Chains A and B, each alone.
Chain A
Amino acid sequence: MTLLDVHGLTVRTADGRTLVDDLTFRLDAGERLGLIGESGSGKSLTTLALLGLLPDGMRAEGSVELAGAQVVGATEKRLTAVRGRRAAVVFQEPLTALDPLMRVGRQIAEPLARRTGLKGRQLRAAVGEALDRVRLPEPGRIARAFPHEVSGGQRQRVALAMALACEPDLLIADEPTTALDVSVQAEVLDLLDTLVRERAMAVLFVSHDLAVVARIADRALVLKDGRAVEEGPVLDVIGAPTAEYTRTLVTGARKLEAALDLRSAR
């Protein structure tokens, strides 16, 4: 079943520059697609366009069908029904995604209450469960904390808990671990992998890091300057890239990695 159907998606600025150019891809329910690209490739704009969240002055054309609903040109009211319930998003920098003046627990309670209609003690219990599910220690303390009072890795888990609280069909993760330390990154990736697998959730995973994408996604789409240059199973794209640009990326990544191997071989 097709969950997300993007056809000819084009994003332009007010002065007519094309930032995402005629992008077409599909995502089935439960499928995991990695969007690979460097800065300026249009990968983040693509994720924003999928949820009708483009910044002022940018316009999307083409078609984005999310669970059968057209996103391009939809009213804010229609979009509200889609966001969260159909697709939820986790951004790179959890500190900007969370409200700095609101305690963590309330931020998770909001989407939870909207979906389940729970109130009072039951809602609090559900928040505790949501925090527990993303393996946060001491959910009670975290729920009462403000975003700046918890570490970067914990904040990203909170953002993940918020996204999952809506039980979306599609989780969009835009560089969710780029701001994290490697060992924390490994933990968050493991967690994300387990949680979406348990729920058979579809994932659109956006990253510049090939190794990280390979860890999460089944299929990969490589973007350069707003255009798709290659698409296929992630192991094929990385193992035997056909596009010149993908080859450059893979060679670069392997070259850096090789420095580690030489040393460990001894």
Chain B
Amino acid sequence: MTPVLELDDVSVRYRGAASDVVQGVSLAVEPGQSLALVGESGAGKTTLLRLLLGLARPSDGAVRFDGAPLAPRDREQLRRFRRGVQCVFQDPYSSLDPRRRVAAIVAEPLRSLGLDSRATAAPKVAAALERVGLPADAAARYPHEFSGGQRQRIAIARAVVCDPRVLLADEPVSALDLTTRVKVVDLLAELKQERDLTLVMVSHDLSVVASLCERTAVLERGRLVEQGATERVLGAPGHPYTRRLIDSVPRLPR
């Protein structure tokens, strides 16, 4: 099967930097095989995600979408890309426009992709909000009226409203309290099932990764040290760095 998204030997070097922040990374996102990118700060996780989103371009190597190189100038491809690949960010406070009502925020992908007018978007928005567990009157309210967990639900509703195939998520639950975090992880798991959604998730929280992703790639200082089935990578890590990450996770006393 052709991977939906693929990084082929990509490197990224920021202007003026002495070395690459991402070095020779190859990985593929196959449909139905959610992928987690794990590693510590500065490992290049977010840079990889920006590449996959088309927000950054590699200094070397190629980013492919449905087998074709991602070309930001190809408007037709970009439209298909934005339709098929949506994203959720870490901070539910800064990722929603404070001056727009939730209805307009969630309708944004539908409107900007030219899929719907305001009138035809409304029922889809209502359905998306209901699906993520927000009250029916949420559409008419503003982001500041919601808690952190609810805002992250709004961001998820916005991301899934146009029925994407891939959802890129950068630390989607790190800013949330434990009880909220559990609920949002459950929601993402359900959406994956129901909608054949493939997640590509950046996270430093290995338990969240293990709950949601079939595959895991481990990054250390811009290099991929290990990738494979999550149960293999986290259950029987082959690289000492992965082992150290797993051993560092604080565990509850039995």
Contact = CB atoms under 8 A, between A and B. Distances in A.
Contacts of B244: 183
B245 A260 contact: no
A256 B235 contact: no
A260 B249 contact: yes
A250 B252 contact: yes
B101 interface: no
B40 interface: yes
B177 A208 contact: yes
A-B residue pairs, 3 tightest by C-beta: A211-B250, A181-B40, A259-B211
A152 B40 CA distance: 12
Interface of A: 38-39, 152, 181-186, 189, 208-212, 214-215, 234-235, 238-239, 248-250, 252-257, 259-260, 262-266
Given A182-B40, A182-B204, A262-B210, A255 B252 contact: no
A256 B204 contact: no
Contacts of A183: 40, 244-245, 248
Contacts of A249: 178-179
Count chain A CB atoms within 10 A of each CB in B231, B235, B248, B250 and give the residue with the most.
B250
A152 B178 CA distance: 23
B107 interface: no
B235 A152 contact: no
A1 B208 CA distance: 43
Contacts of A208: 177-178
Contact of B250 (A181, A212, A250): A212
B86 interface: no
20 contacts: A38-B178, A181-B41, A181-B204, A182-B206, A183-B244, A184-B40, A208-B178, A210-B252, A214-B250, A238-B253, A252-B179, A254-B252, A256-B205, A257-B251, A259-B207, A260-B249, A262-B210, A263-B234, A264-B235, A264-B246
Interface of B: 40-41, 148, 177-179, 181-182, 185, 204-208, 210-211, 230-231, 234-236, 244-254
B40 A238 contact: no
A256 B207 contact: yes
A239 B253 CA distance: 7
Contacts of B148: 39
Contacts of B245: 182-183
B210 A260 contact: yes
A182 B248 contact: yes
A48 B207 CA distance: 32
Contacts of A266: 231, 235-236
Contact of B178 (A214, A234, A235, A253): A253
The DSSP consensus for interface residues of chain A is helix
Contacts of A185: 248, 250
Given A38-B178, A182-B40, A182-B245, A238 B207 contact: no
B212 to A, nearest CB: 8
Given A183-B248, A185-B248, A239-B253, A38 B231 contact: no
A263 B208 CA distance: 12
B210 A259 contact: yes
B57 to A, nearest CB: 27
A209 B206 contact: no
Contact of B252 (A238, A263, A264): A238
B41 A152 contact: yes
B235 A257 contact: no
Contacts of A253: 178, 252
A234 B234 CA distance: 28
Contacts of A239: 253-254
A263 B235 contact: yes
Given A260-B249, A265-B235, A38 B179 contact: yes
A186 B244 CA distance: 10
A254 B178 CA distance: 11
A46 B174 CA distance: 24
A186 B177 contact: no
Count chain B CB atoms within 10 A of each CB in A186, A238, A256, A264 and give the residue with the most.
A256
B182 A264 contact: no
B206 A214 contact: no
A59 B203 CA distance: 39
A196 to B, nearest CB: 17
Contact of A186 (B182, B185, B206, B250): B250
B182 A256 contact: yes
B12 to A, nearest CB: 21
Given A185-B250, A256-B208, A257-B207, 10 more contacts: A38-B178, A186-B247, A238-B252, A239-B254, A252-B181, A255-B182, A256-B205, A257-B252, A259-B211, A260-B206
